[in-house]
Amino acid sequence: MIDPSAPGDVIRLDGVTKTYQADSAPALADLSMGVTAGEVVAVMGPSGSGKSTLLNLIAGLDRPTAGTVTVAGRRIDTLGESALARFRARHIGIIFQFFNLLDDLTVEDNVLLPAQLAGASRRQARARADELLERMGIEEFRNAYPARMSGGQRQRVAIARALVNNPAVLLADEPTGALDTATGQEIGRLLRRLNEGGQTLVLVTHDPELAERYAARTVRIVDGRLAGAPAGVYR
Amino acid sequence: MRHKVQAVVIAMVLLVSTASATLGLALLAASDAPFQHAFAAQDGAHLTLTVNPARAGAGQLASTRTLHGVAAMAGPFAEATVQSQWSGQPFGQLTLVGRSSPGGPVDDAVLTAGHWVTGPGQIVLDGPSGGGGPLVGSTITVTGLPHAVNLTVVGFANSVTYSADGWVAPSQVASLQPPGTPASAELLYRFASAGTAAQVRADLAEVTGALPPGTVTGSGSWLAAESQNTGNGAIMEPFVIAFALIGLAMAVLIVANVVSGAVAAGYYRIGVLKSIGLTPAQVVVAYLSRVGWPALAGCVLGVVAGNVLAIPVLHQSAGAYGVGSQSVPWWASVIAPAGMLALTVLAAFAPALRAGRLSATQAIAAGRAPNAGRGYAMHRLAARLRLPRPVGLGLAAPFARPGRTLVTLAAIAFGATAVIFAFGLRASLDRAAASQSLSATVPVQIQQNGPGGGPNQVPTAQQDAAVTAALNDYPATAHQTTVYENQVKVPGVAGSANAWAFSGDSSWLGYGIIAGRWYDAPGQVDVNTAFLNASGLAIGDTATINTGTAQVTVRIVGEVFHPSSYPTVFGSTHTLPGLATPENVMYWDVGLRPGTSTAGYVQAVNHTLGSDSPWAATTHKDGGQFYTVAISLIGLLALMVAIAAGLGVLNTVLMTTRDRVHDLGVFKALGMRPGQLLTMVVCWVVGPAVVAGAIAAPAAMALNTATVNAMAGTAHTGVPAFFTQVFPPSRLALLSLAALVLAVAGALAPASWAARARPAVALRTE
């Protein structure tokens, strides 16, 4: 059983319930869990189990119906939309299954965007983007448009974009789900290298191999609850 | 939810467009021969006869009803011609007719305000109410009687042929008859043939011949009223037509954009429908019906709204045209909704047909994103500019959908043109009104308010001299000029011309100069446009004028703004000898020293002149009813066009937010704050708005100049250049912002909706 106030938790959910419609079953029910700084946690479960809802709540993209969500020492379930957006820009990086790159922006402009929205100086943002493009091995594509790139390349752009503001937490929603096996493994290795650098990572995946190979810990969600744990509690 | 919003927007756009189209068609119909239509609807009198009832018995008068060619007859109605005052100031000579009801077989007087007289002490005035004149409840005092009679204004009515200045209870007329004047009555006739002056003359001769000699003391032909009224109405036509066409064009544009956009936005759903087995034909039908129902609802509500809106607008235009009432023709209520519905189907048909031909997967792909590749360069450029990122993203966005952007730009441009044009036209009309009435320079006029002491009740030279002396006595009098008028002969001008002669210095009067200058020496005259047209002369030419007592040669030095089809010449009493006689005095124009109270001055002068004087001072009003009505009509029309343009923008932004809902979710997920997103979405329309403003400003200037010139042309006059020079650069720049205001106002609501949307919801939505 976890201590909800365990020191070092960079993500903490306490008694979180999320209901989309009043008369339907909750997508998440009284869920509590924590993630420590520098940890890689894989979240697994069948379709519709509530994995993406959990990720949305941690990212502040949605609000819980009940319970509290604390990320990087800040309770985010009570923040207004502007404060949430500001928080997201500074502390959260998100990688999506289908990349969600903006097709009308170049690779470089996609990577720069979160920094620009967060108000970083041009020089700082550009230096960080240069560094990340190089780290991701896509610096030669900086002026290319995402639509003309392979899935693996696009996901690297998405990772660079997610990291541009040095987020405390990196959230990845099925990061290899739209990639072939080899490319998926390549992305997996990239994520592991990031974690080795100290990056906290929450990985939502269907792929047991990905979870097993790259995550230090795996939590399973079934019908909105953590599987194999007493109601509402898991570490 | 978005589908509901889309349906509501389609319904709203069609509501406004159909209402605009209905109103536009109604206005076009109203501007088409308004007098002729009103004359037929109100059974106007072809001939108005004034008779002496002492010369013919009631039976004899009534028997004229059966004369050959007489189609209908009304009367005799007792009448009295009286002097009047309103608010303590002269209100002029009024012909008051006793009629117990406004209707009848001839000359239906249409009530435009209040009610008909129900007994003595009441009066219904001819013409529209307002415009700075009396209102219902005002009191008109009949003077020149042993005891002044007060009449309460209970209504306003329109007689299409001006059969009276006002109507009172029949029993009231006797008490209004000035002592010593013979009784008088009015007969109104409609004839089988009265289309030409010759036919009317023949009709008059037949009626006159059937009555004892001396019975008929006066007559009025409907052709005179037609001539005057057609002139008034024609002045309105250019701007009414301009607004109607702008409204119609924009309605067509917006509906086409909305409907085709709505169908294109539904491609994803079309793909899904096809994947479950719908045939191409079924898809087309499904999508036509998808936009068809909200469109139908919008059209039906729109035609109702158009009819409701038309009530005040047509009431005003009827006042300006000088006719009793105007209504929306039945065909406008059919053509407008049917046309808009047909346009909707047509606009929806092409994209629906395309959707029907696409494969399911193609339709799904087409419904998810705009064509790839468009607008990328602009995004690249915007990223390099030192602009806040949301601003750069917003400014570059329109290039992804150039077609939609062009339509939006056109809608904003039409709306802004209408707004700038309305401001300009209003300013031009204000200048025309001030120039025509000289209200800016001549605050006070001395007008005849009662019978004079000379033959035919003309004021005597002594009575005139008393006015000049009274004006000279007041130090507040800065200028005074006696204005004389009479007809003169000018070789080359058919018939006769009007001559206005001014005593002393007249340069201060401030007549609007179209070309040349105001005269400043004997032997020089100014003329109106009609004079130049009639004589074929030009500025700088000489003309010979026969004033009746002398023949003089004058040089034309200027063309003045004096809207009239009658040739008129303006000069000093020295240049036009023989005009400065008591019989020809029209009025005195008076200019006051700065700081003088006009009302106080008028009161003081009238006190000095005394109640026995035929002359009285009066405050000089502005340009009159036409300008008041025209200006308020312009405001209403511009507002409607602006609302339609704003709705067009709202719809475009709504469609774009719908297209880009997933991208908006991504922006939010990356940390874009609601304020930044609002800024970005509003910036989608800023670029098109700036271009639209740049197009609208010169377009409105050109439209204003063309409209003012067309209006002036129908009023038989040119216009001074300053009438159309109403757009100094600073004002034009400010007015151009109308495009930005319209665009931002239209974009703000959907931008706010987008900014408020939860990112998780937006990301889920595709």
Average pLDDT over residues B720-748: 89
Q: Looking at the partner chain, which of B383, B662, B674 has a beta carbon nearest the beta carbon of A85?
A: B674
Find which of B670, B680, B765 to mutate to test the A interface (most A CBs within 10 Å of its CB): B670
Last residue of a domain, one of B620, B636, B660: B620
Is residue B569, in this structure, part of any structural domain at all?
yes
- Taking a C-beta distance cutoff of 8 angstroms, is the pair B688, B412 a contact? yes
Residue B291 lies in a domain: yes
Out of A76-80, B102-106, B313-317, pick the least confident. B313-317
Q: Looking at the structure, do residues B634 and B762 belong to the same domain, yes or no? A: yes
Tell whether the torsion through CA atoms of A96, A97, A100 and A105 is positive or negative: positive
Tell if the CB–CB gap between B669 and A100 is shorter than 8 Å: yes
Rounded to an integer, the average pLDDT of B191-206 is 76
State the residue range of the domain holding B65.
53-214
Note the pLDDT tens digit of each residue in B365-415.
Answer: 665 555 556 778 888 888 788 888 899 999 988 888 787 788 788 888 888
As a whole number, the mean pLDDT across chain A is 86
Residues B652 and B735 in one domain: yes
pLDDT tens, B449-505?
766 777 766 788 888 899 999 898 888 999 999 999 888 888 777 777 889 999 988
For residue B73, the model assigns a pLDDT of: 84
Helix or strand holding residue B718 (H, E): none
Residue B229 scores a pLDDT above 70: no
Are B38 and B45 a contacting pair, CB within 8 Å?
Answer: no
How buried is residue A62: exposed, middle or buried, by Cβ count under 10 Å (0-12/13-18/19+)? buried
Would B451 be classed as within a structural domain? yes
Same domain for B76 and B197? yes
Give the helix/strand (H/E) hosting A70.
Answer: strand A66-71
Task: Work out the pLDDT band at A70, boundaries 50, 70, 90.
Answer: very high
Q: Is pLDDT above 80 for B316?
A: no
- Average pLDDT of chain B is 81
B222 within some domain: no
- Judgement on whether residues B338 and B388 belong to the same structural domain of the protein: no
Q: Which helix (H) or strand (E) holds A109?
A: helix A107-117
Q: Are A110 and B667 in contact (CB under 8 A)?
A: no
Same domain, yes or no: B186 and B331: no
What interface predicted TM-score (ipTM) does this complex get?
0.86
pLDDT band for B650, please (50, 70, 90 cuts): confident
Enter the CATH code of domain A9-226: 3.40.50.300
pLDDT classification of B750: cutoffs 50, 70, 90: confident
| Residue ranges of E strands in B573-699 | 585-592, 615-619
Whether B523 shows a pLDDT value over 50: the answer reads yes
What is the least distance, in Å, from the CA of A1 to any CA of chain B?
30
- What is the rounded radius of gyration, in angstroms, for the C-alpha atoms of chain B? 33
Hey, of A71, A97, A117, A161, which one would you mutate to test binding to chain B, going by the most B CBs within 10 A of its CB?
A: A117
Question: Is B460 part of any domain?
Answer: yes
Q: What is the pLDDT of residue A5?
A: 41
B182 and B134 belong to one structural domain: yes
* Same domain? B523 vs B663: no
Contact A105 B383 (CB under 8 A): yes
Q: Which residues of B touch A (CB under 8 A)?
A: 369, 372, 374-376, 379-380, 383, 386, 389-390, 396, 400, 662-663, 666-676, 755-756, 758-761, 763
Q: Which helix (H) or strand (E) holds B629?
A: helix B625-659
My answer on whether B12 and B71 are in the same domain is no
Q: Which of B372, B376, B670 sits opposite A89 (nearest CB)?
A: B670
- Please give the pLDDT value at position B272: 73
Residue B477, in any domain of the structure: yes
Choosing from B347, B368, B389, the residue where a domain stops is B368
B671–A89: do the CB atoms touch at under 8 Å?
A: yes
Mean pLDDT calculated for residue range B165-177: 84
**Residue B48, in any domain of the structure:** no
User: Å from A84 to nearest chain B CA?
Assistant: 8
- The pLDDT-based confidence of B232 (bands split at 50, 70, 90) is low
Nearest-Cα residue of chain A relative to residue B674: A82
Nearest CA in chain A to B756: A81
Q: Are the C-beta atoms of residues A29 and A82 closer than 8 Å to each other?
A: no
Contact across the interface for B670 and A116, Cβ inside 8 Å: no
Look at residue B3 and tell me if it is in a domain.
Answer: no
C-alpha dist (Å) from residue B691 to B407, B416, B649, B695, B697: 12, 11, 14, 6, 10
Residue B713 and residue B580 share a domain: no
Residues B396 and B455 in one domain: no
Overall average pLDDT of the B674-688 stretch: 91
* Mean pLDDT score, A170-193: 85
Residue B103: alpha-carbon gap to chain centroid: 28
pLDDT tens column, B49-73? 787 887 777 787 788 888 788 788 8
At B104 the pLDDT is 77
Higher pLDDT, B17 or A75: A75
- Suggest the residue from A104, A165, A169 to mutate for an interface test with chain B (most B CBs closer than 10 A): A104
Task: Please state whether beta strands A28-36 and A200-204 pair in parallel, antiparallel, or not at all (unpaired).
Answer: unpaired
Query: Given pLDDT bands bounded at 50, 70 and 90, which one contains residue B556?
Result: very high
pLDDT band with cut points at 50, 70 and 90 for residue B625: low
Would you say residue B76 has pLDDT above 50?
yes
Cβ(B415)–Cβ(B739) under 8 Å? yes
Angstroms from A83 CA to nearest CA on chain B: 8
Q: What percent of chain B has pLDDT over 90?
A: 11
Q: Taking residues B332-357, what's their average pLDDT?
A: 80
Q: How far is CA B166 from CA B79, B93, B126, in A?
A: 10, 11, 5
Chain B residues whose CB is inside 8 A of the A122 CB are 386
Q: Are residues B62 and B210 in the same domain?
A: yes
| Overall size of chain B counted in residues | 766
Chain A residues touching B387 at Cβ < 8 A: none
Of B189, B214, B239, the last residue of a domain is B214
Confidence check: pLDDT of B28 > 50: yes
Q: Give every CB contact of residue B99 below 8 A, 6+ residues apart in sequence.
A: B77, B109, B117, B164, B167, B170
**Alpha carbon of B619 to those of B419, B443, B464: distances in Å?**
33, 6, 19
* Helix (H/G/I), strand (E/B), else coil: A116: helix
pLDDT level of residue B622 (50, 70, 90 thresholds): low
Nearest Cα to Cα of residue B727 among B464, B477, B417: B417
Contact (CB, 8 A) for A94 and A155: no
Residues in CB range of B397: below 8 A, 6 or more apart: B375, B656, B660, B680, B683, B684
- For B673, which of A82, A109, A145 is closest by C-beta distance? A82
B591 and B688 in a common domain: no
Mean pLDDT score, A175-181: 81
Of B396, B400, B676, the CB nearest to A117: B676
Residue B554: predicted pLDDT: 92
**Contact at CB, A116 and B389, closer than 8 angstroms:** yes
Q: Which stretch of DSSP H or E encloses residue B681?
A: helix B674-714
Q: Are B404 and B656 in contact (CB under 8 A)?
A: yes
Q: Measure B402 CA to nearest chain A CA, in Å.
A: 14
Using an 8 Å CB-CB cutoff, list chain A residues near B755: 81
Q: Which residue of chain A is at minimal alpha-carbon distance from B383?
A: A109
- For residues B107 and B163, is the Cβ–Cβ distance under 8 A? yes
Region A133-159: what's the mean pLDDT?
90
The token pair that represents A178 in the structure block: 């739209």
What is the per-residue pLDDT across B597-608, written as a single tens digit (0 to 9) for each?
A: 888 888 888 888
Is pTM beyond 0.95? Reply is no
Spell out which residues of chain A touch residue B679, defining contact as CB-CB under 8 Å.
none
Check whether A157 has a pLDDT greater than 90.
Answer: yes
- How many domains, in total, are found in chain B? 4
Chain B residues touching residue A104 (CB < 8 angstroms): 374-376, 379, 396, 400
B197 pLDDT more than 80: no
Exposure string of B546-563, with b = 16+ CB inside 10 Å and e = fewer, is ebeeeebebebbbbbbbb
